[in-house]
A and B are shown apart, each in its own frame.
Chain A
Amino acid sequence: MTRVWRWLADRWVMGVALLVLGYLSLPIMVVAGLSFNRPSSRLSYDFDEFTLDNWRNPCATSDMCDAVVRSVQIGFIATVVATVVGTLMAFALVRHRFRGRSGINLLIFLPMATPELVMGTSLLALFVSAGVPQGFWTVVIAHVMFCVSFVVVTVKARLAGMDRRLEEAAMDLYASEWQTFRLVTLPLVLPGIVAAALLAFSLSFDDFIITNFNAGTTVTFPMYVWGAAQRGIPPQVNVIGTAMFVIALLLVGVSSLRGRRARRARIMSAVRPNGPS
């Protein structure tokens, strides 16, 4: 009897899990489907007729492609700045003792716990009272602000899990501090930094609420979609949505494949010390 129960319980949980995954992936499938749609009217949200036109000229509505390019530019600059600044902070937090640690921790934690709405409106209030015209650069500033905390947390996790003895061994072998950093520490932390940068880029590229309050007349991709939702969404929006999804999926696939290959290579070279490295 217990066995029957357990069998049922096992399947029951997995069944619910698969249904929930279906719920989570349904919109993506709809977006992919709609990217092949020729809508009957501008305000139609239904699938009307199959076409490849949207994929053939994704830039038929040029405002949208301008917005995508602008989002990529903002995302790129914000990612570089946030990753550099955040990585430095992570090193300080994991590797050094200093006064005021709890204050710094709070300063890093709070932006992640504050509603975006509050951050967006408060920055708007600052820019307006300081007389700073809003546009491209105010959006970059805002994006760096909310990305830094996520970079710090991601890099910190990687750094904290690192074996300090590897660096001590390098120093024992008379590597200078800089050499140790460049040849041992950096390569070991790099996956964490890359993950942090990807996270920062995706946060920046997809941000709507904070951007909306600080963009002035600058239009990013999410802002374009927001505006278009009132006027009618061009089907090319779904092409961009699908392409983003596919690119991200490929990145994940490649990185997990490389990780697996690297692990296998390490095991092989450990088993056969004289084999090809």
Chain B
Amino acid sequence: MSALAHVPTPSGPAAPAPPPRRGRHRLLPYLLLLPGAAWLFVFFAVPLLQLAAASLYDPSGSLSTGYALTWAFSNYPDALQAYWPQFARSFGYAGIALVLALLLGYPLAYAIAQKAGRWKNLLLVCVVAPMFTSFLVRTLAWKTILSDNGWFVGLLRDVHLLAPDGRLLATPFAVILGLTYNFLPFLVLPLYASLERLDHRLLEAAGDLYANPVQTFRRVTLPLSMPGLIAGTLLFFIPATGDYINAELLGTPNEYMIGNVIDSAFLVRLDYPQGAALSFLLMAAILAVVFGYLRRAGTEEVL
């Protein structure tokens, strides 16, 4: 209210002073950034360093006797040797799920962006809707859908796609299906954003120039949707590789991914050096895949 008193009335007789302009607070941006940047530094960046240190602890120590930082680089090859199947499985399952998600998600994003018309918003809500409820509860619902005496397995048995005693639950199929389902919206949304901006006239122009639908897709639609495709692929692949909820709930120890191993290293076996080494290996592997992919895809603008 007191600020109001200082506002000169434009109708006043005195020539009004020029209105104030900004640019006088040189420290303001730093003050605005300080709390958030400090939080991220202390609770995101510093912990990564701590994890790096923990991965080099003497593996003979324990939580009760304390750990000594002995620069035990051998933790890395040791961990990899013990758990390479789970490592390979993480990338294998996430990779297969990614291919499935692309096959399912591209038509979906395309249909919503280009064909849905006035139903666009409703269909978008349907894509996001699964995320409205708990991740774990949804994943458990797949346990019901895929259960041995459920209708789905019964149907597959009837049409002989599945042996009479065949099952879906507790198989790699169930885990990959769960991964595809859980992270599909992350792929579809950025893809939709790209395809939505696609000018429909370009597709018509391609058709006018005698391109068949396949050519139009390969030469026009696909290149123009590349930014969304890359962003969506990363948003799908990174959490899918690190996920262990699907493997735990829909699979058996035979389907365990690296996340299950890291979880048990930290929370059950209390082998911190090994858990930390595996975490770092996971991050390094994901970063290597991501940057290799970005280089091949030739777009760095998503970063």
Instruction: Show the binding face of A for B, using Cβ within 8 Å.
Output: 2, 5-6, 9-10, 13-14, 16-17, 20-21, 23-28, 30-31, 34, 45-47, 84-86, 88-89, 91-93, 95-98, 104, 107-111, 113-119, 121-126, 128-129, 141-142, 144-145, 148-149, 152, 171-179, 202, 205-206, 208-209, 212-213, 221-222, 225-226, 229, 233, 237-238, 240-242, 244-245, 248-249, 252, 256
Tell whether B138 is near chain A: CB-to-CB under 8 Å: yes
Given that A24-B130, A45-B144, A222-B134 are known contacts, is A17 also in contact with B39, CB under 8 Å in the complex? no
Interface contact A125-B47, CB-CB below 8 Å: yes
Interface contact B3-A117, CB-CB below 8 Å: no
Given that A17-B112, A121-B276 are known contacts, is A108 also in contact with B40, CB under 8 Å in the complex? yes
Interface contact B266-A27, CB-CB below 8 Å: no
In the complex, what residues of B have CB within 8 A of residue A179's CB?
Answer: 3-4, 7
Given that A212-B267, A245-B133 are known contacts, is A174 also in contact with B33, CB under 8 Å in the complex? no
What sequence of 0s and 1s flags, for each residue 111-152 of chain B, a beta carbon within 8 Å of any chain A beta carbon? Answer: 110011000010101110111111111111111110101100
| Chain A residue at minimum C-beta to C-beta distance from B111 | A17
Interface contact B108-A21, CB-CB below 8 Å: yes
Cα(A117)–Cα(B127), bound, Å: 25
A-B CB contact pairs (8 Å), 26 listed: A5-B213, A13-B115, A17-B110, A17-B115, A24-B184, A24-B185, A28-B141, A34-B141, A47-B144, A88-B35, A107-B37, A107-B41, A110-B44, A114-B283, A117-B242, A117-B279, A118-B282, A126-B51, A148-B36, A174-B19, A176-B3, A176-B7, A208-B135, A225-B134, A237-B137, A245-B132
Cα(A87)–Cα(B105), bound, Å: 32
Interface contact B134-A221, CB-CB below 8 Å: yes
Question: Interface with A: B70-78, B79-87, B157-165, B233-241, which one?
Answer: B233-241
Tell whether B263 is near chain A: CB-to-CB under 8 Å: yes
Chain B's nearest CB lies how many Å from the CB of A253?
9
14 extra A-B contacts, CB within 8 A, seeds A209-B242, A226-B136, A233-B140: A92-B29, A107-B44, A115-B242, A115-B283, A116-B239, A122-B47, A129-B53, A144-B39, A152-B36, A212-B263, A229-B140, A241-B133, A244-B132, A244-B133
Interface contact A13-B110, CB-CB below 8 Å: yes
Cα(A144)–Cα(B104), bound, Å: 34
Q: Which of A142, A206, A237 has the most CB of B within 10 A?
A: A206
In the complex, what residues of B have CB within 8 A of residue A23's CB?
Answer: 104, 181
In the complex, what residues of A have CB within 8 A of residue B30's CB?
Answer: 92, 98
Which residue of B144, B145, B239 contacts A115 across the interface (Cβ within 8 Å)? B239
In the complex, what residues of B have CB within 8 A of residue A96's CB?
Answer: 28-29, 32
Interface residues of B in 1-31 (CB under 8 A from A): 3-4, 6-8, 10, 16, 19-22, 28-30
Interface contact B107-A13, CB-CB below 8 Å: yes
Cα(A88)–Cα(B38), bound, Å: 13
Which residue of A31, A115, A123 contacts B282 across the interface (Cβ within 8 Å)? A115
In the complex, what residues of A have CB within 8 A of residue B16's CB?
Answer: 174
Which residue of A85, A92, A128, A171 contacts B19 across the interface (Cβ within 8 Å)? A171
Interface size on B, residues (CB 8 A): 98
Interface contact B111-A225, CB-CB below 8 Å: no
Interface contact A10-B37, CB-CB below 8 Å: no
| Chain A residue at minimum C-beta to C-beta distance from B210 | A2
Main secondary structure of the interface of B (DSSP, over half): helix
Tell whether B272 is near chain A: CB-to-CB under 8 Å: yes
Given that A24-B185, A122-B51 are known contacts, is A241 also in contact with B138, CB under 8 Å in the complex? yes
| Chain A residue at minimum C-beta to C-beta distance from B270 | A128
Chain A's nearest CB lies how many Å from the CB of B204?
10
Tell whether B209 is near chain A: CB-to-CB under 8 Å: no
In the complex, what residues of A have CB within 8 A of residue B104's CB?
Answer: 16, 20, 23
Chain B's nearest CB lies how many Å from the CB of A120?
8
Interface contact A241-B110, CB-CB below 8 Å: no
In the complex, what residues of A have CB within 8 A of residue B7's CB?
Answer: 174-176, 179
Which residue of A24, A85, A208, A237 contacts B36 across the interface (Cβ within 8 Å)? A85
Interface contact A30-B144, CB-CB below 8 Å: yes
Interface contact B129-A249, CB-CB below 8 Å: yes
Tell whether B286 is near chain A: CB-to-CB under 8 Å: yes
Cα(A4)–Cα(B143), bound, Å: 42
In the complex, what residues of A have CB within 8 A of residue B212's CB?
Answer: 5
Chain A's nearest CB lies how many Å from the CB of B237?
10
Cα(A172)–Cα(B16), bound, Å: 11
In the complex, what residues of A have CB within 8 A of residue B141's CB?
Answer: 26-28, 30-31, 34
| Chain B residue at minimum C-beta to C-beta distance from A238 | B137
Chain A's nearest CB lies how many Å from the CB of B294?
11
Given that A31-B137, A89-B37, A248-B132 are known contacts, is A174 also in contact with B10, CB under 8 Å in the complex? yes
Cα(A34)–Cα(B150), bound, Å: 13
Given that A25-B130, A142-B43 are known contacts, is A14 also in contact with B111, CB under 8 Å in the complex? yes
Cα(A193)–Cα(B139), bound, Å: 30
In the complex, what residues of B have CB within 8 A of residue A233's CB?
Answer: 140
Given that A152-B36, A174-B16 are known contacts, is A208 also in contact with B136, CB under 8 Å in the complex? yes
